Amino acid sequence: MTKPKRIAILTSGGDCPGLNAVIRAVTKKAIHEYGYEVIGIRDGYEGLLFNKNRRLDEADVSGILNLGGTILGTTNKANLYKYPVEEKGQTVYQDLSLQAIAHLHQLKIDCLVCVGGDGTLSVARQLSLQGVNVVGVPKTVDNDVQGTDITFGFDTAVHIAAEGVDRLHTTAESHHRLMLLEVMGRKAGWIALYAGVAGGGDVILIPEIPYDINKIAEYIKNRRKRGKKFTLLVVSEGVAPINGNVTIQRMVKDGVEPARLGGVSFLLGQDLEKLTGIETRNVVLGHLQRGGSPTAFDRILGTQLGAQAVDFIHQGFYGFMVGVKSNQFIKVPLSIMGQGSRLVPVDHPLIKDARALGTCFGD
Ligand code: F6P
């Protein structure tokens, strides 16, 4: 009889509804079905570097399916290959991957499950190139991970954003205002597109389609002429005008991707108010899209991805993440992480349908 495996799991990068569903599924299936031991690494890759971990038993993951966030904690600042260290009063960046790998050896880990977005999975890929057995589980509200049709967290974010559009609708209509709702997504417009369509947004702006402000103003004025005195705009945080730049809210020290986007809806709203003469307000939905309980869809997807990850380990498929293609779970090599974000194709069927219904995409 072969010795049961000892596996570890970490969640890294920005949190996202459904992470606990994955932790629960991995832990329960690994113990229940295969008799493995499971170690939870705390605070993402930071916990690998500084040996912060705890054993996970079935009782530890009981009752967490509907919880937002991650019981293991996370960080989006611990790139093992470029880790900030203070030296003589200065911050220098070092490759500390060997320290992390040494801790995995000390813990006698047979395989590490890395749950995260493209930053986390890129680090997972590098670990795998250094000989660590790794299985990835893609996560992000942005839905922009290459190699998979869908990531858990996205459905919850869309649900919250669509509710935001609904709520703004009544107040926009009552006051005859322009109302802009800014949603997350970084370089990808998935949340804006889906929430915009779900909430019946009149204008949907996504980073993949640079906007022309004069065309948006024209569209709003035409609506007025037709008796629609208000307009709802759903704006992805990563949008930029034709030949213009994205709006950066702040730079984050030591982040894998330091620029944090935000604030475009305020600037755009001011300009539209000038061009149309209509009073304007903006709302930045922000981290409300990432907090709280996951939708039933995300709980199910997280559970399935976690369960698949354990099967990958059992079958010895390392260096892969679990992807979803045409409703099937597939093995996706982690090398796909070099290909950048998965953007919305500008000829996406949902864009075509929305255009046919009269929605403006700012072009
Ligand atoms: O990638 C997920 C995401 O929520 C983006 O949509 C957003 O731009 C970013 O993370 C915000 O990061 P932070 O939590 O560091 O503010």
For the segment 119-166, what is each residue's pLDDT rounded down to a tens digit?
999 999 999 999 999 999 999 999 999 999 999 999 999 999 999 999
Above 70 in pLDDT, residue 267?
yes
Nearest of 18, 48, 33 to residue 113 by alpha carbon: 48
pLDDT-based confidence at residue 255 (cuts at 50, 70, 90):
low
Which of 35-39, 250-254, 301-305, 328-332 shows the lowest per-residue confidence on average (mean pLDDT)? 250-254
Of all protein residues, whose CA lies closest to atom 14 belonging to ligand 1?
14
- Ligand 1 and 76: CB distance under 6 A: yes
- Ligand 1 and 184: CB distance under 6 A: yes
How long is the chain? 363
Summarize pLDDT for 79-97 with one digit per residue, the tens: 999 999 999 999 899 999 9
What is the 262 CA–ligand 1 centroid distance (Å)? 10
Q: Are strands 320-325 and 134-138 parallel, antiparallel or unpaired?
A: parallel
- Ligand 1 and 143: CB distance under 6 A: no
Q: Which CATH superfamily is domain 156-291+345-356 in?
A: Phosphofructokinase domain (3.40.50.460)
Query: Residue 258: its pLDDT value, please?
Result: 85
- Ligand 1 and 14: CB distance under 6 A: yes
**What percent of the chain is modeled with pLDDT above 90?**
95
Of all protein residues, whose CA lies closest to atom 4 belonging to ligand 1?
184
Q: Are strands 178-183 and 231-236 parallel, antiparallel or unpaired?
A: parallel
Domains 6-152+293-336 and 156-291+345-356 agree in fold: yes
Question: Which tokens is 302 given?
Answer: 């997280």
Residue carrying the six token digits 């992807």: 323
Q: Which residues are known catalytic residues?
A: 142
User: Rounded mean pLDDT of the chain?
Assistant: 96
pLDDT-based confidence at residue 253 (cuts at 50, 70, 90):
confident
Could you write out the DSSP letters of every residue in 184-217?
--TT--HHHHHHHHHHT-SEEE-TTS-B-HHHHH
pLDDT-based confidence at residue 4 (cuts at 50, 70, 90):
confident
What is the position in ligand 1's atom list of the atom closest to the CA of 287? 4
Tell which one of 139, 140, 186, 342 to mutate to probe ligand 1, the residue whose CB is within 8 A of the most ligand atoms.
186
Query: Residue 289: its pLDDT value, please?
Result: 98
Mean pLDDT of 240-258: 89
- In words, the CATH class of domain 6-152+293-336 is alpha beta
Q: Is 95:45 a contact under the CB 8 Å cutoff? A: no
Distance CA 237, CA 168 (A): 18
- Ligand 1 and 185: CB distance under 6 A: yes
Instruction: Return the domain boundaries, the chain.
Output: 6-152+293-336, 156-291+345-356
